[in-house]
Chains A and B, each alone.
Chain A
Amino acid sequence: MDTRRILISRREALSRSANGFGALAFFSMIQAQAGLGGQSPLSAKPPQFPAKVKNIIFLYMDGGPSQVDTFDPKPRLQEENGKPFKMKMEPTQFNNNGNTLGSPWKFSQYGKSGLPISELFPNVAKHADNLCVIRSMTSNFSEHTSANYFLHTGLGLSGRPSMGAWVTYGLGSVNQNLPGYVVLNGGLVPPGGLDNFGSGFLPASYQGSILRAGVKPLANISPLEPKPGLQENKLSLLKKLDAEVVREFGVADQLESAITNYELAYRMQSAVPELADLKGETEATKKLYGLDSDNPNLRSYASQCIVARRLVERGVRFIELTCSQTGGNDRWDQHSNLFKGHNENARAVDQPIAGLLHDLKARGLWDSTLVVWAGEFGRTPFAQGNDGRDHNPYGFSIWLAGGGIKGGFVYGATDEYGYKAVENKVTIHDLHATMLHLLGMDHTKLTFRFSGRDMRLTDVHGEVVKAILA
């Protein structure tokens, strides 16, 4: 068998090579690329059918932006502003429902498509002809945490694999020096915590790696040895002693791949900090994203967006960006003070996202990348108290852009008040199915046997939203 021959020669390499540490690295890289040995769970795997995109950047809008203030204009709300809300109100999280609340922001039509976008997103609006807005998005939960788990894992409880974990499980990673699924932590871990990015019952290899800004972007990525050479010596001795273990234990695939992991880990120690280091970016690029802004939140999100692009360039499959903390606002979760909160949150992300879209196009990454902008739910068209909006999972807006997606396109609709989706309803499962489809995977066939079932990201639901595919 070819695999075995290669393994044996690997072992020979291990026991014979007295060279430095790198020689083996080269070897394992070839092996990983060839997909042989099967030890690395992150080895790149081909999609089930030709993929439209290779990477996904998920711009998670924590807290739930309001659809009627961003991408779903409802003149009727203005007309009935301050009057009792005419539709039947479903129970809400705070049970403090006020009157109809018109949007304090004006909408304009942009681009050739005339896509209406509110003045909260003047920069993103410049890409209107590239955006596919789904206005009929729905969720099953009115509570942040449940809705977060649902958006991320397809179930309203913790413990299931996140979409990024499924993607990495399905496709592996083309870059063995970086984690396959990266979460760029902007400062706000969403309600529900890190389990939004977990691997659930999938092997832990597929869980999201949390990257933070700063010199130590990833846990345990920095060697603790005080001087150069100390760690290399350790690794060199380790290699020799491991060779003895292989002799003692006999053939064992798990030992082989555990040894290989040290090669990878060693390279990650430099690859990860390099990734987060923006020194090499031009001034023009930095400006494009807004790194020169006087708004610290905008700068923070801008650097996340640049790192996201760098991750795409390096072949990382699934990248999620969490939001940063703006002012005294609790994420996009404006139960009160809608005007201030949404203004500040939008300002923090608008230019960086627009910059990212521009940059992806300029660098030829557009067609191979899918950008998804979404919160866990939307907000009520009626007020909470006087100047806030409560959670609304019955109909809200998200957008997609990039490879394989129709631009300047609106799909689905809510009712006249923007309360509930009434046309072409899209579920979270549908969104997941569509994302997997674009990556070349049939969501009904990406399965993992657990609990006596072939588990899926989409459970037993989900249909690809074909109408939005280019």
Chain B
Amino acid sequence: MSIVSKQLFRMMQWVFISGFLLQQIVAQSGTLPGGDVDFFEKQIRPLLADRCYKCHSEQSEKLKGALKVDSREGLLRGGETRTALVPGHPEKSLLIEAVNYTNPDLQMPPKDRLSTEEIALLTLWVKHGAPWPKSSRASSNPAGSATTTGIDIDQRKRDHWAWQPVVQSKLPRVNNPAWGFNPVDQFILAGLEKNHVKPAPDADKLVLIRRLYFDLVGLPPTPEEVAHFINDDSPTAYLQLVDRLLGSHRFGELWGRHWLDLVRYSETLGHEFDFEIPNAYRYRDYVVRALNADVPYDQFLREHLAGDLLDNPRINPDSGENESLIGPGFYWLGQQTHSPVDVKAHQSEFIDNQIDVLSKTFLGLTVACARCHDHKFDPIPTRDYYSLYGVLSSSRYSQRSLLTPEKNRTTLQHIATGKGNIRDDLIDLWLPQSKEITNYIAALQSPTNASLRAGLNTNKLNALKQSLDDWAKLPSINKATPTMLWVDASNPSSLNDWTVEGDAFRDAMVSVNETLILDNDHPPRLVVEPMVHSGRLSGRLQGAIRSPTMTITNRFLHLRVAGRESRFNIIVDNFLIIQDPIYGSLRRVMDREELNWITIDLERWKGHRAYVEFSDYPTRDLGSGGKGAYGETGWIAFTHIVKSDLSTPPEIGVPTFKNKPELPLISQLENELSLIKRQSNQPAMLLSLLVRHGFFDHSKLDVGAMKILENKLSHNPRAPSMADGTGLDESIFVRGNHRLEGENAPRRFLEAVDGKSRPSFKLGSGRRELAERMLHSENPFPARVAVNRVWHHLFGRGIVASTDDFGKLGQEPTHPELLNWLASNYRSDLGWSTKKLIRLLVTTRTYRMSSKVLDQSAEQADPSNLMWHRMPIKRLEGEVIRDTILALSGRLDESMYGVSVPVHLTEFMEGRGRPGHSGPIDGARRRSIYQEVRRNFLSPLMRTFDMPVPYSTVGRRTVSNVPAQSLILLNDPFIKDESMNWAKRVMKSKDDGALGIIRRVYQQAFGREPTLEELQQSNEFLTEQAKLHGTIGIDESTVADLCHVLINVKSFIYIN
């Protein structure tokens, strides 16, 4: 250690960590000790070489953050963020910031802080202009900006099959054209012939009917259905069966579950308390309905991406509900953190999951891999990721009302007319009563004179007193308008950028001297200042109004607001679980009739993006907060919002007079009555006070007609969906770190699909445009990915086995021409109809092949069955196993839709957020798709049989094969109960002895008669069990034992 640095070191010893202090100290010393060159070569270069070069130099094996510190140029150019060195200004130099560890996201060297002495030396060096001897080598690569992408998009596109356009492939030639039933078979046969492999023989009819039932509706055929099909020799029997199953409501319930795997369907948010996502089940029902109605897939995709923004949404003909609006619900099925300390980090995780699910589900691309760096293998630069990020961060969560405005339009018109009439009635009531005021004033002025009070109403007297007290408090001069007035209801243009949703705020501007009747329970009011009021037409109406997105710069937000059973929320970085600790102050539950200033301290969130939301929706916001904020007749009103650095609200809001009239007031009152009759906008202050305090008797007011009208307003169901927010681009987060912002990423679709010069999205968030760009014919992904998913479910493996990844790391298609042919037909001839596609595929001869291994040479040539020389054996999904058991026990409740059956909680399912009550063990006998999916309390039965964790897109479930499955089928009480129910059902129907029972349970379970051997073995078993049970003959528990065994037989959960 040199003497100088030793001195420095001593100086520094009392300084702890603070780089700022260090800078002050070094600023006082003169030139660099020992001269610039000497100081650099002895102190700085060795230090940089020793502690930084490993990751930040020419010699780095792996250059980190695109920063080189082995030349002055390198430091000046900087890395992915910005310049690392500002000579003469240690406080502006990232290099110094990094070594000081003051920024938690930029701490270098990452593992081990430099010593205080070393930091001081570097600081001193920078302070003195960071001299670097000329002789030292400059970087050999001075050019090159750190933020431009390093990947060759065109090259990567050329090199990978999936980016090539979908073209209608020609049908291949085959030697045995007679084998195939339709063109699909030709592709399969061509592959087999090329490899000299013979296709397997056709499966028998029993196998086929079971295969079709389990593949299309996920339930076993009844013995009668089997018999009918087997005995039907007509050439159309198979096709009729296919069409019947495709037309069954059960179809959507099975294929809906396949879809839910893609969108990580869950009804709770997971994390610490597993809060519910209200109405999530409506999304599930939407999927089931859409599949049953065979909504074209392009429309289905469009609805998912931007169903809330379509010009012509799809309206359900039965319910009148807007179906399209439910599609975007899938965005919100991910997990969310309770009380994150870093809210933007949380947002970046949430949006990452949205991008991941969106891109894998619809594109089969792993765009989320480009979050921290350009995609390692696919032509997707980080910029593209943040282009989509901006689209999603510009979109907002909303529980949308599903009924279209038309539904209530006429009623609302009648209500508006009715309210006008009521206003006239009120004035007629007030006029005569106001004449009495002289007597009341006299009584008030001489309180000791009892005779003056004779015949007067005490309530009225009190009302007058209160009104006059309030009157006296009215300010008489106008205060200056504060500069930061954001919203002022008297200036409606200040609300221009606000978005309105639902009926309540559609016509909510109340003007001066308007009368207001929320509903029958509320007395009439006379409004004396302009305001936004959700109850203007009726307290029964519901809705939300949201501000444009702002960046928080002022510490305080003051809002003048009133309401009941409603709330306003400040939503920071789209964070929705507004409750303590940390976020509770961003929500206010309204419980006040009178307008009042409420002040929100936003200090913690300065620099973040936020919007304000006023809502009287009865649907719960996310999380457990907001007690008292929800009700069917809630309302909320506001007049002013002010951004300010002062903690006290400004003195504006109360209507004022230039010259306040003096008492006596009778003339004032008469004047005001004539004002409101003339519909003047000069506020009728005194009248308003008298009305509010109850001076007038309104018992004669007839609101009966209004009551009838309000009851006609339809109950408006809601579902999680989107609302478009302010369209704002996001900057690239350098290395995925949201605190290190790089260049701007305009909102648009992938460069590799849409080209380098593609325009940015213009409308709001851009989701609508995104949907159209995704569906553009130049984008080969949606159709290929969708047909491959269908193929996967029917044939056990996709043509591209990695159903969710068509990228370089995914698997290559085994039959690329077939995939193209299917995709191209799906888009054109089939009109994106999934049912037509399924019909095409299950009517192939390929689908009808046997799964049995008969031909050893075929097995050797195609051991993994990649050519589909036979059909694979498939393990049934957990849901199908459970549904089948209920079908056999005769207890399956086939009712559809609605609130999910609460999950059955075993004693092993513990933890925070555990529901107070367990659902029934038999899931109310409903199909599995209607069972509740709680992220932190997943059904063990389903999990053990591989229902995926709702985390991200899973198009291909794992098929595990473990003892835990055997333990469930052997020992789970549900299985045992249903075995007994099955036995009871069998015994009730007929008394035909042991052999008859055995034959019937076999027919029910497997669609066939038992073999002689099976019959004998089962019969012996029944006798043995009866002996052990100690029963005479065969009873329910004995038969239940047999049923239990059959559930465990392998052909129960495997189909051939």
Residues of A within 8 A of B (CB): 39, 41-42, 86-88, 90-95, 141-146, 156-160, 179, 185, 189-195, 198, 200-205, 207, 209-210, 212, 216, 219-224, 227, 229-231, 233-234, 236-238, 240-242, 244-246, 248-252, 254-255, 257-259, 261-262, 264-265, 268-269, 394, 415-416, 420, 422-425, 449, 451-454
Across the interface, which residues of A come within 8 angstroms of B489, CB to CB?
Answer: none
B193 touches A (CB below 8 Å): no
CA distance A293 to B1051 in the complex (A): 53
Bound-state Cα–Cα, A254 to B959, Å: 10
Residue of A nearest to B1053 (CB): A258
Pairs A-B, 8 closest by C-beta atoms? A159-B951, A452-B366, A265-B966, A193-B936, A189-B911, A193-B911, A452-B805, A250-B852
* Interface mask (B406-448 → A, CB under 8 Å = 1, otherwise 0): 0000000000000000000000000000000000000000000
Residues in A with CB closer than 8 Å to B486 are: none
Contacts of B113 in A (CB 8 A): 422-423
Question: Is residue B6 within 8 Å, beta carbon to beta carbon, of the partner chain?
Answer: no
Residue of B nearest to A96 (CB): B581
CB <8 Å contact, A415 and B342: no
Pairwise interchain contact B962-A41, C-beta atoms closer than 8 A: yes
The CA of A320 and the CA of B451, in the complex, are separated in Å by 87
Given contacts A191-B272, A233-B1021, A261-B961, is CB(A159)–CB(B952) below 8 Å?
yes
Q: A425 to B110, Cβ gap below 8 A?
A: yes
Given A93-B581, A145-B337, A249-B851, verify A204-B943 contact (CB < 8 Å): yes
A185 pairs with B910, CB closer than 8 A: yes
- CA distance in complex: A93, B967 (Å): 42
CB proximity of A380 to chain B, nearest CB, Å: 12
CA distance A70 to B211 in the complex (A): 63
State which of B616-624, B696-704, B1022-1030 sits at the interface with chain A.
B1022-1030
> Complex formed: what's the CA distance from A416 to B113 in Å?
14
Rounded to whole angstroms, the CA-CA distance of A416 and B1044 in the bound complex is 66
Q: Which of A227, A241, A248 contacts B1017 (CB 8 A)?
A: A241
Chain B hits for A205, CB < 8 A? 960-962, 964
Residues of A within 8 A of B965 (CB): 258, 261
B104: chain A residues within 8 A (beta carbon): 90, 394
CA distance A241 to B1041 in the complex (A): 14
Given A244-B1013, A451-B360, answer yes or no on A143-B1045 (Cβ-Cβ < 8 Å): no
Asked if residues A234 and B1044 are in contact (CB atoms below 8 Å), the reply is yes
B222 CB–A CB distance under 8 Å: no
Distance (whole angstroms) from the CB of A451 to the closest CB of chain B: 6
- Beta-carbon contact of A94 and B581 below 8 Å: yes
**Does B42 make an interface contact (CB < 8 A)?**
no
CA distance A236 to B649 in the complex (A): 81
Could you say which residues of chain A place their CB within 8 Å of the CB of B339?
93, 143
Please name the residue on chain A nearest to B874 by beta carbon. Answer: A254
Q: How far is the CA of A94 from the CA of B583 in the complex (A)?
A: 10
Pair B951/A157 contact, Cβ less than 8 Å: yes
Contact indicator A224/B1049 (Cβ below 8 Å): no
Interface centre among B581, B854, B961, B1029 (most CB of A within 10 A): B961
Contacts of B102 in A (CB 8 A): 88
CB-CB nearest in chain B for A145: B272
Return chain B residues, CB-CB under 8 Å to A145: 271-272, 337-338
Q: From A209, A248, A259, A265, give the contact of B970 (CB < 8 A).
A: A265
Among A191, A236, A261, A451: residue with most chain B CB under 10 A: A451
Residues of B within 8 A of A159 (CB): 335, 949-952
Whether the Cβ atoms of A158 and B270 lie closer than 8 Å is: yes
> Interface-forming stretch among B528-536, B542-550, B971-979?
B971-979
Contact call B961/A238, Cβ cutoff below 8 A: no
Expressed in whole angstroms, the Cα–Cα distance for A234 and B1018 within the complex equals 10
B310 at the interface (CB under 8 A from A): no
CB contact under 8 A between A264 and B1054, given known A238-B1045, A242-B1049 = no
Q: A198-B949, A264-B963 are known; give 20 further A-B pairs, CB within 8 A.
A: A143-B272, A143-B338, A192-B936, A200-B951, A203-B962, A204-B946, A204-B962, A216-B907, A224-B973, A233-B1028, A237-B1021, A244-B1011, A249-B873, A249-B1050, A255-B873, A425-B110, A451-B952, A452-B366, A452-B369, A453-B809
Contacts A230-B1029, A245-B1049, A415-B17; A39 near B805 (Cβ below 8 A): no
A92-B341, A234-B1045, A425-B112 known; A220 and B961 CB under 8 Å? no
**Which of chain A's residues has its CB closest to B1046's CB?**
A241
- B659 close to A (CB within 8 Å): no
Contact with A along B346-379 (1 / 0, CB 8 A): 0001000100100010000110110000000110
Min Cβ gap A195→B in Å is: 6
Contacts of B935 in A (CB 8 A): 158, 195
Residues of B that sit less than 8 Å from A by CB: 16-17, 101-102, 104, 110-113, 270-272, 274, 335, 337-342, 349, 353, 356, 360, 365-366, 368-369, 377-378, 581-582, 604, 802, 804-805, 807, 809-810, 851-854, 873, 875, 906-913, 935-937, 940, 943-944, 946, 949-952, 954, 958-968, 970-973, 976, 1011, 1013-1014, 1017-1018, 1021, 1024-1025, 1028-1029, 1041-1042, 1044-1046, 1048-1051, 1053-1054, 1056
Q: How far is the CA of A87 from the CA of B112 in the complex (A)?
A: 19
Report how far A92 CA is from B906 CA in the complex, Å.
36
Q: Is the CB of B341 within 8 A of A93?
A: yes
Chain B neighbourhood of A86, CB < 8 A:
16
Chain A: minimal CB distance from B845 (Å):
20
Nearest residue, chain A, Cβ from B1052: A245
Report yes or no: B913 in contact with A193, Cβ–Cβ below 8 A: yes
What CA separation (Å) do A90 and B341 show in the bound complex?
Answer: 10
Given the complex, which residues of A lie within 8 Å of B1014, measured CB to CB?
241, 244
Given A158-B271, A159-B951, A453-B369, check contact A261 B966 (CB 8 Å): yes
Q: How far is the CA of A56 from the CA of B591 in the complex (A)?
A: 56
B962 touches A240 (CB 8 A): no
- Distance (whole angstroms) from the CB of A233 to the closest CB of chain B: 5
How many whole Å from A455's CB to the nearest CB in chain B? 11
Q: Which A residues are CB-close (under 8 A) to B906?
A: 219
What are 6 residue pairs bridging A and B, where the CB atoms are less than 8 Å apart in the complex?
A: A42-B962, A95-B581, A241-B1018, A258-B1054, A261-B963, A452-B805
A422-B101, A423-B112 as given contacts; A252 in contact with B962, CB under 8 Å: no
Write the nearest CB–CB distance from B980 to chain A, whole angstroms. 11
A262 to B1044 Cα, complex, angstroms: 14
Complex partner residue of A224 from B111, B274, B971, CB under 8 angstroms:
B971
Let me know if A229 and B1028 touch, CB within 8 A.
Answer: yes
- Contact in complex: A142, B341 (CB < 8 Å): yes
Minimum CB–CB distance from B398 to chain A (whole Å) comes to: 24
**CA of A86 to CA of B17, assembled, Å:** 11
Smallest distance from the beta carbon of B492 to chain A beta carbons, Å?
Answer: 38
How long is the Cα–Cα vector from A190 to B364 in the complex, in angstroms? Answer: 35
Complex interface: chain B residues within 8 A of A452 (CB): 365-366, 369, 377-378, 802, 804-805, 807, 809-810
Q: Tell which of B274, B912, B935 has the most Cβ of chain A within 10 Å.
A: B912
Asked whether, in the complex, the Cβ of B272 is within 8 Å of the Cβ of A258, the reply is no
- Given A158-B335, A238-B1048, A204–B958 Cβ distance below 8 Å? yes
Interface pair A230/B112, CB less than 8 Å apart: no
Residues of A within 8 A of B1042 (CB): 237
- A224 contacts which chain B residues (CB < 8 A)? 971, 973, 976
Q: Pick the contact of B967: A91, A203, A265 (CB < 8 A).
A: A265
Report A-chain residues with C-beta under 8 Å of the C-beta of B936.
Answer: 158, 192-195
> How near does chain B come to A263, taking the closest CB pair, in angstroms?
8
| Contact residues in B for A156 (Cβ distance below 8 Å) | 349
Q: For the complex, what is the distance from the CA of A358 to the CA of B16, rounded to whole Å?
A: 42
Residues in A whose Cβ lies below 8 Å from that of B976: 224
Residues in B whose Cβ lies below 8 Å from that of A42: 962
Docked complex Cα distance between A402 and B17 (Å): 36
A234-B1044, A248-B1056 known; A194+B911 contact, CB < 8 A: yes
Name the distance in Å between A246's Cβ and chain B's nearest Cβ: 8
Question: In the bound complex, do residue B962 and residue A251 qualify as a contact, i.e. CB atoms below 8 Å apart?
Answer: no
> Cβ of A143 and Cβ of B369 under 8 Å apart?
no
Report the minimum CB–CB distance from A65 to chain B (whole Å).
19
B1041 touches A234 (CB 8 A): yes
